[in-house]
Structure 1
Amino acid sequence: MDDIVSTLALTFGVGWAAGINLYAVILVLGLLGATGYLELPAGLALLADPLVIAAAGFMYLVEFFADKVPGVDTGWDTLHTFVRIPAGALLAAGAVGDVGPAVEIAAAVVGGSLAAATHAAKAGTRVLINTSPEPFTNWGASVAEDLGVFGGLLLALTHPGVFLVALALFVVLLVWLLPKLWRGLRQLFRSLGRLFGLGRDRPAEADESAGSVAAGPGERPSHRGQR
């Protein structure tokens, strides 16, 4: 039973964390596996390779700085829509070990879904935060995300049962939060559209419509100003 809980916590944990900071996940698991603190499942053993750890460390540093620049962080998140979600699915599938194709596919579906949800929450929140001109909110959000990933992974490895309960609460929070983020983003885009003159009615058409008079039977339509 303990092995099942541990496997579930690792599977869900890597999917959840990959949507927030994929390179931190790979770096943490790789270092833990390389130092012998954690025996990685066969599907994740490659993460302990020094070349993988070096690449993950380099990309983590790049993201560390890109994630703290307003505007750049949103561009970075947009590009990583195509990276974090499939990578979260692959990591989750590798975390279940060599159990069987059906279990691996199920783990990939769940892991990819968690990665998609956390990525959407992160990216949407950053777009709204970027409406503020000061950079300190971005820095605070970025640091909080990194600490959350490191803390969440360590909790999943050391106290898997507690992590699963916390993850369930987090999913409930996401169900409540994502629709609100979507409405906030729609309002923001509408405001930007009005700012740049998008979606306005054309005055000429409005004047023509207002100036036309309905014609009765046998009469020609008349317009104001027409002789």
Structure 2
Amino acid sequence: MNLPPQLDLPALLALAATLGLASGLRLYAVVFLTGLAGRLGWVELPPGLVLLQSPMVLGGSAVLMAVEFLADKVPWVDSVWDAVHTFVRIPAGAALAYGVFGGGDAQAWALLAALAGGTLAASAHAAKASTRAAVNHSPEPFSNWALSLGGDAFVPALLWLGWAHPFWALGVVLLLALAMVGLAWALWRFIGRLWRRGRPEPQR
């Protein structure tokens, strides 16, 4: 099996994992920052991700990143945005993870990376969407803004960790994925209780 020559296997796995997880939080920032890092020569992208550094992809992802940045700061608009992006973030996370291995003789690794990337994106997306939906029940906007800005800072930090310290990144991604699944489950139960509490009693 011939893997892409720029990175060894642990680094490629870390990159696939971080791209998958981060895509569930800020997909367009992931696409833009990864492409920009490759375009500026900060990192050497695997062949399957080189398309991200093209001017067209950089420009389109920059615009969408700005739109997402603004939408994520408005209570309830963020939840609508998350609902729509349920059908975007998960397959995109799988596609980005697949692209890490670039096809060729690494097809088996690429398929496994796609499955893992989609799963990680789904975990992150579910945790993000449920957290923001729960916070939106609060009348003050500051907790919403704090969570949004925290996500804005977390994604580039996670991408950097994936490039600079692959083994640490794999450990962090695994722990975060487990925590996010538990958080999403707990918050959806909480939201369900709020919804049932606010539902009018049936007439007898």
What TM-score do you get using the length of structure 1 for normalisation?
0.83
Structure 2 stretches lacking a partner, 5+ long: 1-6
Aligned-partner SS, 2:8: helix
| Residue pair 2:101, 2:107 contacting (<8 A) in 1 also | no
Structure 1 stretches lacking a partner, 5+ long: 204-227
| Residue pair 2:20, 2:96 contacting (<8 A) in 1 also | yes
**Pairing 1:21–2:46 present:** no
Q: Please give the alpha-carbon distance, in whole angstroms, between the structure 1 residues aligned to 2:36 and 2:140.
A: 35
The structural deviation recorded for 1:188 is: 1.9
**Pairing 1:72–2:73 present:** no
Matches within 5 A, 1:40-189: 40-98=45-103, 99-189=105-195
Once the two structures are superposed, residues 150-185 of structure 1 have per-residue CA deviations (whole angstroms, 9 ceiling, x without a partner) of 100001001111111111221232243232112112
Q: Please give the alpha-carbon distance, in whole angstroms, between the structure 2 residues aligned to 1:175 and 1:127.
A: 16
Which structure carries more relative contact order (alpha carbon 8 Å, separation 6+)? 2
Once the two structures are superposed, residues 101-148 of structure 1 have per-residue CA deviations (whole angstroms, 9 ceiling, x without a partner) of 322221111100000000000000000000011111111101101111
Identity among equivalent pairs (%): 45
Q: Which has the larger radius of gyration?
A: 1
| Residue pair 2:123, 2:181 contacting (<8 A) in 1 also | no
Equivalent position amino acid for 1:124 in 2: S
* Number of equivalenced pairs: 197
The structural deviation recorded for 1:96 is: 1.8
What TM-score do you get using the length of structure 2 for normalisation?
0.92
4+ long deviations beyond 4 Å:
none
Q: Please give the alpha-carbon distance, in whole angstroms, between the structure 2 residues aligned to 1:167 and 1:49.
A: 28
**Root-mean-square deviation (Å):** 1.3
Alignment partner, residue 5 of structure 1: 10
Q: Please give the alpha-carbon distance, in whole angstroms, between the structure 2 residues aligned to 1:168 and 1:79.
A: 26
